[in-house]
Amino acid sequence: MKQPILSNCEKLFIVRAIAEGKRLDGRQMDESRVLHIYFGTDWGCCQVSLGETKVLAQVSCEVQQPKPTRPNEGLLFVNVELSPMGAPHFEAGRQSELAVQLNRLLEKCIKDSRCVDLESLCIMAEEKVWAVRVDVNVLNHEGNLVDAASVAALTALSHFRCPDVTITGEETIIHDPSERDPIPLSLHHYPVCVSYAVFNSGESVAADPTVIEERVSDSQIVCAVNAYRELCGLHLGGNALTNYEIVMQCANRAAKRAAEVVQIMKSALEEDANARAAEKSVGFAKCIQQGKVSALSQKQLSLQLDTSRLRDEASDLVQKKKKHISAEEEVDEINSIKGKDVGELSVVRVGRGSAELLPKQELMKFKEAVTSVARVGDGGESQWVKMESENVSGVKADQEEDSDEVPSSSSDVEVIEEIRCKTKKTVDSIDLSGDSEEEQTVVLNAADMEFSSKKSEDKSTSGKNIRSWYPMKQW
């Protein structure tokens, strides 16, 4: 089956919307969809969902003879499988152009960046090495397969455990997992792909494109970046770009996103390890559990108004309230309050599908307050507490309310008290589990970047970005 043709209406609409900075699903231009990682019961098996795009990865290993040119290195294969399950126009069995491209991109990202320590996979030089194979299956294609596949492959690799081996003279014994605990692979760094769609010959760039945005866009940029902000791969697809700055900007943004993704990945891995240690149930059953009555309906509407305006206004209101209170209180009281109430007010974004359980009195207040809604109809999680209307749980804020009403009236944003940690730079907060074994690590200085030399000069002196290959640039 051929991929259904895209109508001119859709193409034109998307291009116009992107030019205005709007996206169909209400995201910001540089906002990615929600990333979830679930693990199977087996080692090295994980499913990654990026919005509605779903990818499954499974790692397996077997003993093979090494290549004669590299007698003491293990082997790593990456294989991407596109089946009609992902999208009806994918053909089974035959490697399509997209599959080849995906395969190559993943190889570039994982194999060529040498993130897996292949020498540790050697059992006996020139005779026996482990051949590790990563099979990536696309379960659902809703755009940006590259990102989902790279995260899935990498997470599966870091989750995988190889059987333990002992060598006694001529004999090699491969231990059963029940005899000896299998050994995890050693990964030097975590390179993930981050892709962008370029529209209007380089005027607008959208992060994490959906399937329709991918098809309408002029070109796609895929950056493979690790948490150290090292660029491990770059792919430009589609029509030629007219603007070289775009590539630099994308790489810079990709580095930021990669750090976030690696963080999500590590916390997911840790959560799974804890669950296994506590002998709780693990597996994919978790990812199909949804507390919603309409669980099988669309999790998220494909068309959505954007909600960022509400967030911005709510944070303004919080700021106002802070000022308001500080004006009323006496000076010494302010100091004490700042530590407790006012200073700790902050606007926290509540996730799209989330619902807040409100006490009854607050709910009454709430109903009066709620007059406008941005996200509609999606009822949020089912709860046993009876609510007047489904929407109250997933509510949007009333912006015309007084600033005093903020805590109860806003719902897209929720004002809570929280203990504020010292904000760290993302570059620093990353847990570096091992040093990069890149033979040559080229660190670009500000001087190398001609076009950004002005901005970077003052930043490079701060000394915080020494590891970064490219100076931080606000954009």
Partner 1 sequence: MGINVDDVVVPGDVIQVPNENDKAKFILGPGLRRHADQILVTTSGVLRKKASNVYWVDCHRKRYVPVKGETVLGVVVNKSGDTFKVDIGSSEQASLSYLAFEGATKKNRPDIKIGDVVFAKLLEASRDMEPELVCVDSFGKRGKLGLLQEDGFIFTCSLNLIRKILNPKCTLLKLFGSEIPYDVAVGMNGKIWLKTKSIKESIGIGSAILAAEHLPNEEIIGMCNRVINNLKGM
Which chain residues interact with partner 1 by CB under 8 A?
4-13, 16-17, 20, 22, 24, 26, 294, 297-298, 301-305, 309, 371-374, 376-379, 389-391, 396, 399
Cβ–Cβ under 8 Å, residues 98 and 3:
no
Query: Shortest gap between Cβ of 292 and partner 1 (angstroms)?
Result: 10
Least gap, CB of 379 to partner 1 (angstroms): 8
How far is the CA of 286 from the CAs of 149, 219, 269, in angstroms? 20, 37, 15
- Which residues on neighbouring strands pair with residue 233, listed in sequence order? 224
415: left (phi over 0), alpha (psi -120 to 50) or beta: beta
- Min separation Cβ 415 and partner 1, Å: 21
Please report how close the Cβ of residue 409 comes to partner 1 at its closest, in angstroms: 14
Output the six-digit token pair for 330: 């006496």
**How many other CB atoms are found less than 10 A from the CB of residue 8?**
8
Closest CB 372 distance from partner 1, rounded Å? 5
Q: How far is the CB of 102 from partner 1 (least distance, A)?
A: 26
Please give the C-alpha separations between residue 80 and each of 28, 130, 187, 401, in angstroms, as whole numbers: 30, 20, 21, 52
**Between residues 212 and 236, which has the closer beta carbon with respect to partner 1?**
212
Cα angle value 415/421/426 (rounded, 5°)? 105
- In terms of CB distance, is 10 or 428 closer to partner 1? 10
CA angle 237, 189, 105 (to 5 degrees): 20
Q: What is the DSSP code string of 109-163?
A: IIITTT-B-GGGGEEETTTEEEEEEEEEEEEE-SS-HHHHHHHHHHHHHHH-EEP
Residue number with CB closer to partner 1 (272 or 405): 405
Query: Which is closer to partner 1, CB of 124 or CB of 363?
Result: 363
Nearer to partner 1, 326 or 382 (CB): 382
In the bound complex, what is the minimum distance in angstroms from residue 354's beta carbon to partner 1? 17
The DSSP symbol for 43 reads T
For residues 299 and 459, which CB has a smaller minimum distance to partner 1 in the complex?
A: 299
Decide whether 309 or 425 has the Cβ nearer to partner 1: 309
Nearer to partner 1, 117 or 306 (CB): 306
We find the least distance from the C-beta atom of residue 353 to partner 1, in angstroms, to be 14
Minimum distance from residue 269 beta carbon to partner 1 (Å): 36
Sequence-distant (≥ 6) Cβ neighbours of residue 142 within 8 angstroms:
51, 52, 53, 210, 211
Token couple for 251 = 């790489």
379: three-class secondary structure by DSSP: coil
Q: Do 159 and 140 form a contact (C-beta atoms < 8 A)?
A: no
Query: Could you tell me the smallest distance in angstroms from the CB atom of residue 33 to partner 1?
Result: 16
**How far, in Å, CA of 196 to CA of 221, rounded?**
5
Nearer to partner 1, 19 or 364 (CB): 19
Give the tokens for residue 289.
């559990």
- Could you write out the three-class secondary structure of 93-123? CCCCHHHHHHHHHHHHHHHCCCCECHHHHEE
**What does the block give as tokens for 47?**
């499913």
Task: Please identify, using beta-carbon distances, which residue of 295 and 447 lies nearer to partner 1.
Answer: 295
